[in-house]
Chain A
Amino acid sequence: MKSLQELKAMRERMGESKGIRTRASPTKITVAMGTCGIAAGARSVLLAIMGELAETGLRDTAVTQTGCLGMCEREPLVEVVHQDHTTLYAYVNAERARQIVRDLLSTAEKEEK
């Protein structure tokens, strides 16, 4: 490193912030992974969400799992908490999961402006 700029660039490159470890994530995505969720394909939904997060750079987002939410017929279920706003998505598949993350990104971008 030869300058302050390079130091900053290095930090940018490191990307993924400490947000996850300080529980300061502004956004939390919860995938219901009870037996019902897993049977309906929650696992591929989870992996799709993670893949999309890595690509979009929304690395501050926390992804967790939970058990059955009681609406087994609508699994896989994904709950998104952003700021104080909660949205529950039903019948999620890998493609819809990626779309959820992309929507989050555009919301976050609008907020920044």
Chain B
Amino acid sequence: MTTRFEPVVTRAGADGSRALTEVDPITTEIVRHGLNSAANQMKQALIRTAFSPIIYEVLDFAVAIYDDDVRLLAQAPSLPIFMGTMSFCVEAAVAAVGGRERLEPGDIILYNDPYGSGSHPQDAALIMPVFLDENLVGYTAIKAHWLDIGAKDPYATDTVDVFQEGVIFPGVKLYSRGQRVDDVYRTVLANSRMPAAVEGDIRAEITGVRTGGEALLRLIRRYGLVDFKQAVEHMFDHAEATVRRYFEEIPDGQYRGFGMMDDNGVEPDPVPFEVVLEVKGSTVQIDYSNAPGQQRGPINCPLPSTVSASRVAISMLAGAGEAPNEGHMRPVEIKTRPGTLFHPLPPAPCFLCGWPTIQAIEVIYHAISQALPHAVTACSGGDICGLTLYGVRKDTGEPWTDGSPHPVGQGGHIYGDGGTMMHVSESATRFPATEVWESKNPIIMEKVELAQDSCGAGEHRGGLGIDFFFHALDDFFITAAVERTKTAPWGLLGGAEGRPNAAAVRYPNGERTFIGKATRLPVPKGATLEYYTGGGGGYGEPAEREEAAIRKDLREGYLSESYVRQHFPQLKLEEGS
């Protein structure tokens, strides 16, 4: 980069509160519940009709409802990391078709440009304007992961520009006045290796946005547009107040967190970065402007994705456990510098943009831990340890693909030991049942087991990582996207580090090759793919851990004797016991 851009600051709901009338706390509460229920109805409609497990099991989607100014009204629990990206996507889609005056009832826009959607092109969004008697009153939107939309490989970690990452639909009407635009529809299907699955999932998304539209209209009709809008303003103000109160407790100041990407996917060097949190009164600014320049490989994180990571991290802490809306995001400013890792410019590759967002969340917690260590957990395994498998069926010659993220150990925290589950960026996601996975793929799972000693020690230890062994019954390819293999999960307040993630292929001849990011790697029949997901960091001094807890860890085999001798010398073990 020769040009150095000035940093830009992104805020939500820019013009702040617009509440006009006296507060009616009752209607506000009813409307708030009604909107969340409407979003849940969208989610159910999508899950029940989706074709691909990546949608109905992995929940790799977001559903959201916006008002006519594209402010978030409600979002159903799904993939948190998509949470903050959807408003960008709606705005970009509407702009692309000529602005709101060009929208008509029955329109549905297809949008998957990574630089507006904050995701790779497979995460394709459908956006439906919602009209009440010809007046635009809001939008329903779903972004869901399609199995394939024509990237260089079904999943890729080594792209060098965005054009290798899939076919881009930069905001085109898939439905116009309720009629399907067949030219666009056929173009979509013609560009997928898995057209039947994509067709099924498009239909599910359509059912979802329409279900949400009906639910939104029902709510507006019930209370009238004027009262509805006022209730919404109060709902935003209420959420904003909740988050502001949280930040008022944090002393004003600058808090720095540090993170590192293992590599950028095409070059071997680690990519370190820094995030600065500046708390001022009830406002927090998350500053990414010191990030390294945009990368040659696909770990670049487009602005919407960076904003999303920030919003997820903050919502988990300050949102009082509630479903987020626009108001929660008002106190959060995000500062980025165009041309950098966290604000790349097209056509930089960004297929793996989800991975830096995961690291960014941990780094934000790292920064907050300096002010309020009890408010966060120690570092988790810090990744979703993604795996995609693909090949060609020998009997039919048809291409197949499947994939999943994997759980990691969570960091210890003030309330107790860390558990073992998905990274918070995908907190509602499930990984597939072995019995289902084996019925569809040429695999025998040898092991899905907690890994002894993989956690960081502490007064409250981290959660254990898991060993997953996939034994190949036939030849296939994989794309592995495993991060944080070079940096161990940090402990907090004296807690120790957990084990970092690792992945390897053990070939039939016994040789073992470790991998991190790998694309189209052949796994021959008889080989075993080994995923060792990371353990959580510990919280508090290990010397403070209660003896009963250590004894339990030993009895249950979570920890070995040698680990206990090393980290918890306070427990006197009999020699040779």
A, B bound: no
